[in-house]
Amino acid sequence: LAKTTQPISMDSYEGQEVNITCSHNNIATNDYITWYQQFPSQGPRFIIQGYKTKVTNEVASLFIPADRKSSTLSLPRVSLSDTAVYYCLVGGGNTNAGKSTFGDGTTLTVKP
């Protein structure tokens, strides 16, 4: 199993860029990296997914170095509404859900 490690918490201010790193030293060749955002009392919401290098969508970027042993979620210009828990998931989706590992999550607090 690919064990993941994330910082427990991070603080930021509105308008800043936030980078959250996830370590996954024993990631398997077929594993993808997916990030989710979760608000209290809600299910995790898909943010972005990648396999290698850089992926960008309308809300975030995901940077994955060549060795794939870590990944960094980048949130540009955060707002108060970005305060949430962010999870890194390493694995192969539902097919290998039993072998997918959620990190403990990073609680991001955005301050005015």
Based on the shown chain and the rule CB under 8 A, indicate whether residue 81 belongs to the binding site for other proteins.
Answer: no
The answer to whether 32 contacts other proteins (rule: CB under 8 A) is yes
- Binding of residue 35 to other proteins (CB under 8 A): no
Give the footprint of other proteins on residues 2-31 (CB under 8 A).
Answer: 30-31
CA 49 to chain centre: 9
Instruction: Provide the sign of the torsion angle of the four alpha carbons 43, 87, 99, 93, taken in this order.
Output: positive
Count other Cβ atoms within 10 Å, centred on residue 84.
Answer: 21
Nearest by Cα to 2 from 87, 102, 85, 106: 102
Pick the binder of other proteins from 14, 16, 25, 46 (CB under 8 A).
46
- Footprint of other proteins (CB under 8 A): 30-32, 34, 36, 41-46, 49, 51, 87, 92-100, 102, 104-105
